[in-house]
C-alpha cells in the first residue's frame, strides 16, 4: 500500500525534521514566515512550504495581521500522535520498573559483599 501524502497525514508531516523544528519554534507564539525562515536558517519559500504542509494537517493555523500572515501552533492536531505514543507508556513504565529493581539488587549485593 502506498504511503499517504505528507499533506494528509500528521505522522508523515512531522517525520520531516525541519517541520518538527518549526513546531518547537511556534510553541513560543505566533511568528511570520520570514521570522520562521530566519530562525531556522531556511530560505523563505522553503519555510512557506513547510508551514503549508503543517497547516494542511492541522498543526499550524494562520491569520492576517496587517500586511503579514502570522503562523501559530495548533497542538490539537498532535492528538493522534499523543494517543499513539501513549500506548507505549505502559511498556516504558514496566521497563523502568525492571531497571529500578535490578539496580536495587545490585546495590544490595554490593552492600552484602562489604565487610
The answer to whether residue 3 sits within a structural domain is no
Output the domain CATH number for residue 76.
1.10.10.10
Specify the pLDDT at position 23.
Answer: 97
Mean pLDDT (whole number) for 91-110? 90
The answer to whether residue 4 sits within a structural domain is no
Is residue 42 within a helix (H) or strand (E), and if so which, with residue range?
Answer: none
* pLDDT tens digits along 56-87: 999 999 999 999 999 999 999 999 998 898 88
The answer to whether residue 33 sits within a structural domain is yes
The answer to whether residue 1 sits within a structural domain is no
Mean pLDDT (whole number) for 22-37? 96
Range of the domain at 69: 10-113
The answer to whether residue 24 sits within a structural domain is yes
What contacts 48, CB < 8 A, 6 or more positions away?
33, 37
Q: What is the pTM of this model?
A: 0.74
Domain count, the chain: 1
Q: Residue 15 in 3-state DSSP? A: coil
Residue 7 has pLDDT above 80, yes or no: no
Residue 55 has pLDDT above 80, yes or no: yes
What contacts 64, CB < 8 A, 6 or more positions away?
70
Mean pLDDT (whole number) for 91-107? 91
The answer to whether residue 76 sits within a structural domain is yes
Looking at per-residue confidence, does 7 or 112 come out higher?
112
Amino acid at each position: 500500500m502506498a504511503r499517504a501524502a505528507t499533506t494528509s497525514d500528521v505522522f508523515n508531516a512531522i517525520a520531516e525534521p525541519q517541520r518538527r523544528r518549526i513546531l518547537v519554534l511556534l510553541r513560543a507564539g505566533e511568528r511570520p514566515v520570514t521570522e520562521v525562515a530566519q530562525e531556522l536558517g531556511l530560505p523563505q519559500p522553503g519555510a512557506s512550504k513547510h508551514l503549508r504542509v503543517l497547516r494542511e494537517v492541522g498543526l499550524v493555523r494562520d491569520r492576517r495581521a496587517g500586511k503579514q500572515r502570522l503562523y501559530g501552533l495548533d497542538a490539537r492536531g498532535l492528538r493522534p500522535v499523543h494517543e499513539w505514543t501513549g500506548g507505549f507508556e505502559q511498556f516504558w513504565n514496566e521497563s523502568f520498573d525492571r531497571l529500578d529493581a535490578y539496580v536495587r539488587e545490585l546495590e544490595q549485593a554490593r552492600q552484602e559483599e562489604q565487610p
